[in-house]
Amino acid sequence: MVEEVYKNIWKIEVPLPKSPLKFLNAYVIVGDKKNLLIDTGFNRQECKDALSQGLEKIGISMDNTDIFVTHLHSDHSGLVSDFIKKGRRVYCSKKDALDINTLRDFNSWKNKFIGAEKLGFPENLDEYFDRHPGFKFNNTHDIEFSYVEDAEIIQIGEYSLQCIFTPGHTKGIMCLYEKNHRLLFSGDHILERITPNISVWSMENNALNDYINSLEKIKKLNVDKVFPSHRKLFDHCHRRIDELLDHHRERIVEVEEILSKKSLQSPYEIASQMKWDIKFTNWDDLPHVQRWFATGEAMAHLVYLYNLRKISLSDNKYYEFSNFY
Ligand SMILES: [Zn+2]
């Protein structure tokens, strides 16, 4: 589906087969001399077709269209190499851009998860990596990115799009903010019905702390309309931020309660006892990918609590946490 959702701003729904996210919203901002495409979809034929048909329906050519990649995940960055034309720019934060060019290479892909073997997964981790959509569906390589910094402006037609650095969901994720029209292209930083995934694989990355700070940063802006990367557009930006902050506060309490019942538990063991918004009766029967994301999310809350000195860590074969310090 392709529609003009605001003056000269179009939304192309790019299907994400087998993903609970269902669609990626790729946005196109049409200017007088050049246009901007925000995000692309997975490297899958269904995504390529939807994006090509969408651009055709809007009536623009990639010959005068730049691409802005909100963050490294393959449902956003997977098709950049397929769509970018010579001489056009691909904007992204430096942090995520450096990762995107290596996503197709299995070994560098694996290296991103150094430390993950200590989270307590029972299987060999290669089984998780092979099946991960981030590895399977990315074709972006050898791109000379135009790195964007926090507060930098990209001008497209009547819109002055300010890059806002909002780490948490990834280390380099950026939103775009249009001050005069009070618009926010929120990427995966703020979604309406879905809680953005905040996952970490090592003690070094306190992504939940970054995410909470990035939510507070957006809360300071005047926003009338949010253009998220998945699901519906919405108006209640500040209310949604409060809901997301509440969600993580509840998750923190949940993790503390699980630890109060038993000391020395691995992130995997803790994740198996948390409530997840997916149907399952037996944790061990869940597909690899779902256990992988759930454990990463549990780990993000554990690292956050550890840095607040609320829980302790025993660094043995696995990371094991206890609810005292
Ligand atoms: Zn994402």
CATH assignment at residue 282: 1.10.10
Mark whether 120 and 40 lie in a shared domain.
yes
Mark whether 61 and 170 lie in a shared domain.
yes
Q: How confident is the model at residue 190 (pLDDT cuts 50, 70, 90)?
A: very high
Of 255, 186, 188, 259, the residue nearest 218 (C-alpha)? 186
User: Residue 290's CB: how many other CB atoms inside 10 A?
Assistant: 14
Say what angle helices 237-261 and 288-307 make with each other, to 10 degrees.
90
Q: Ligand 1 centroid vs 77 CA: distance in angstroms?
A: 10
Q: Ligand 1 centroid vs 167 CA: distance in angstroms?
A: 11
Q: What is the pLDDT of residue 139?
A: 87
Q: Ligand 1 centroid vs 249 CA: distance in angstroms?
A: 21
Q: Ligand 1 centroid vs 71 CA: distance in angstroms?
A: 7
DSSP-assigned letter for residue 49: H
For residue 187, pLDDT beyond 80 = yes
Last residue in a domain, options 198, 217, 243: 243
Of 79, 22, 45, 312, the residue nearest 193 (C-alpha)? 22
Mean pLDDT score, 161-186: 98
Q: What is the pLDDT of residues 104-144, one digit of tens each?
A: 888 887 888 888 889 999 888 877 777 777 778 888 888 99
**Contact predicate 323/263, CB 8 Å:** yes
Q: What is the pLDDT of residue 178?
A: 98
Q: Is the CA virtual torsion 303, 298, 313, 122 positive or negative? A: negative
For residue 216, pLDDT beyond 80 = yes
Mark whether 231 and 256 lie in a shared domain.
no
Which range marks the domain in which residue 60 is found? Answer: 2-243
Q: Ligand 1 centroid vs 322 CA: distance in angstroms?
A: 30
Q: What is the pLDDT of residue 160?
A: 98
Mark whether 115 and 146 lie in a shared domain.
yes
Q: Ligand 1 centroid vs 213 CA: distance in angstroms?
A: 18
Mean pLDDT score, 162-177: 98
**Contact predicate 265/256, CB 8 Å:** no
Ramachandran region, residue 122 (left: φ > 0; alpha: ψ -120 to 50; beta: rest): alpha
Mean pLDDT score, 153-170: 98
Q: What is the pLDDT of residue 277?
A: 81
Mark whether 264 and 233 lie in a shared domain.
no
Residue bearing the bigger pLDDT, 150 or 107: 150
Mean pLDDT score, 175-186: 98
Mark whether 6 and 114 lie in a shared domain.
yes
Q: Ligand 1 centroid vs 262 CA: distance in angstroms?
A: 33
Residue positions counted in the chain = 325
Q: Ligand 1 centroid vs 79 CA: distance in angstroms?
A: 15
Q: Ligand 1 centroid vs 137 CA: distance in angstroms?
A: 13
Mark whether 158 and 300 lie in a shared domain.
no
Q: What is the pLDDT of residues 23-39, one digit of tens each?
A: 999 999 999 999 999 99
Q: Ligand 1 centroid vs 225 CA: distance in angstroms?
A: 20
Q: What is the pLDDT of residues 38-93, one digit of tens each?
A: 999 999 999 999 999 999 999 999 999 999 999 999 999 999 999 999 999 999 99
Q: Ligand 1 centroid vs 170 CA: distance in angstroms?
A: 7
Number of domains in the chain: 2
Mean pLDDT score, 135-156: 93
Last residue in a domain, options 216, 243, 270: 243
Query: Where is 36: in which H helix or E strand?
Result: strand 35-38
Mark whether 17 and 69 lie in a shared domain.
yes
Mark whether 281 and 191 lie in a shared domain.
no
Q: What is the pLDDT of residues 271-316, one digit of tens each?
A: 999 999 877 788 988 888 889 999 999 999 999 999 999 999 998 8
Q: What is the pLDDT of residue 127?
A: 75
CATH assignment at residue 73: 3.60.15.10
Average confidence score pLDDT of the chain: 94
Q: Ligand 1 centroid vs 187 CA: distance in angstroms?
A: 8
Last residue in a domain, options 223, 243, 263: 243
